[in-house]
Amino acid sequence: MAEVVSPVPGAGRREPGEVGRARGPPVADPGAALSPQGEIIEGCRLPVLRRNQDNEDEWPLAEILSVKDISGRKLFYVHYIDFNKRLDEWVTHERLDLKKIQFPKKEAKTPTKNGLPGSRPGSPDREVKRKVEVVSPATPVPSETAPASVFPQNGSARRAVAAQPGRKRKSNCLGTDEDSQDSSDGIPSAPRMTGSLVSDRSHDDIVTRMKNIECIELGRHRLKPWYFSPYPQELTTLPVLYLCEFCLKYGRSLKCLQRHLTKCDLRHPPGNEIYRKGTISFFEIDGRKNKSYSQNLCLLAKCFLDHKTLYYDTDPFLFYVMTEYDCKGFHIVGYFSKEKESTEDYNVACILTLPPYQRRGYGKLLIEFSYELSKVEGKTGTPEKPLSDLGLLSYRSYWSQTILEILMGLKSESGERPQITINEISEITSIKKEDVISTLQYLNLINYYKGQYILTLSEDIVDGHERAMLKRLLRIDSKCLHFTPKDWSKRGKW
């Protein structure tokens, strides 16, 4: 489920030319079309002025989700259509283009579905997508056990991996659905109700669509939440929510936090430190033994993870918290959670790098650590779906770099092309076979040559990979990992 790991420039905004973006300086006319009651109502759509990442004015179409009155001044909470929800915000009347307002359509009092009175009408967001198979003779998936071999192509390829032809392939593991937040692969997409943060595709509750926390102070950082998180209602009106950066307990004021810090003995997350190299450490936290910390961690994470529902039963989960050490203690950088027992080979349930530490390589380090644990367990793993948009980008990048590293490290024997199979790549990296195949397809490495399917690495791909690896300074050192897997099938160990 995902995750959020590192932001990218332009994430959440549409490409130029997409429907709904209106440029130009329309003037807000107080006498423009309003509701019969003479006011803008929830559900209205109209262009709203905002600044894009290039610091230019634009007028994208937005929906009014809520209206509030502060000292006689009305504020409107808007969601920009086709933009990421983390860009939602409160705006003033002056930023609205009332000349192009669209009022919500009235629904029937007794909607029906399939002819049954009283049933709610179907919604694409609530329909469960079916698992499909796509017949694609043009780009079939290579056999998992077929050997790979080097093969030149037009003199510009360095290495190529051969595989036996196939007839059918499952839908791309990295495909995206109609919501920019989620990625859906061939697995059943109905929400799994066993997680602390599981997929929630319904948007019926207007409250959960709106950010409810203005600002969070965590140690030396102040964070602006991206999404709704179910903190107690009385805390949502505060200008700043104060969190202890070691136990993650929340307080109403700085004075409350200071009083708490005189009593809090923690200077690192609870649980066992299972990895340390330099200033980076990982702590393993049992969701049953450290329930309060785990729940507080989920509340904080929900501020930056969309399409998730918080579950307070953290018993079935392990939490791996990455920290950075200084003289004051171990400061949380990010975390991922995983089920103690997963029947679907999930090695990550939720994953998050906190905003102050994003774009610094910590996201990939979290992903690499999750696969390092899978190697020790002797299993292949995959993140729980759906992935967030940022999580999908991070996983695609990690899978691509890891697989290319394997392929480029192959050496020929007796003058013959080196060979490797999909299964062998999966065993070496602990990346699930479906993710290996989907990554090869995403990189467009699969080609048909002289009756066999080969994987060709062009000069551009090789050069791009080498440049990316030069920038990737943070890596997991398996020698610094002290981890012994437990057999969680024995309920007594929970």
d(CA 342, CA 432): 14
d(CA 260, CA 265): 10
d(CA 83, CA 147): 44
The catalytic residue positions are 384
- C-alpha angle 242-247-251 in degrees, rounded to nearest 5: 25
Query: Pick from 466, 403, 411: which is nearest to 430 by CA?
Result: 403
How many CA atoms are closer than 13 Å to the CA of 254, on its beta-carbon side? 7
Length of the chain: 494
d(CA 103, CA 40): 9
Residue 78, C-beta contacts closer than 8 angstroms, at least 6 positions apart:
48, 62, 63, 64, 65, 88, 89, 90, 91
Structure tokens at 478: 């398996």
Q: Maximum distance among all alpha carbons in the chain?
A: 84
d(CA 215, CA 217): 7
d(CA 323, CA 333): 5
**Residue 402: what are its φ and ψ, rounded to 5°?**
-70, -45
What sign has the CA pseudo-torsion 336, 339, 340, 344?
Answer: negative
Cβ atoms of 347 and 382 closer than 8 Å: yes
Residue 131 DSSP class:
P
d(CA 2, CA 308): 9
| 128 CB-contact burial (10 Å; exposed 0-12 / middle 13-18 / buried 19+) | exposed
Cβ atoms of 201 and 126 closer than 8 Å: yes
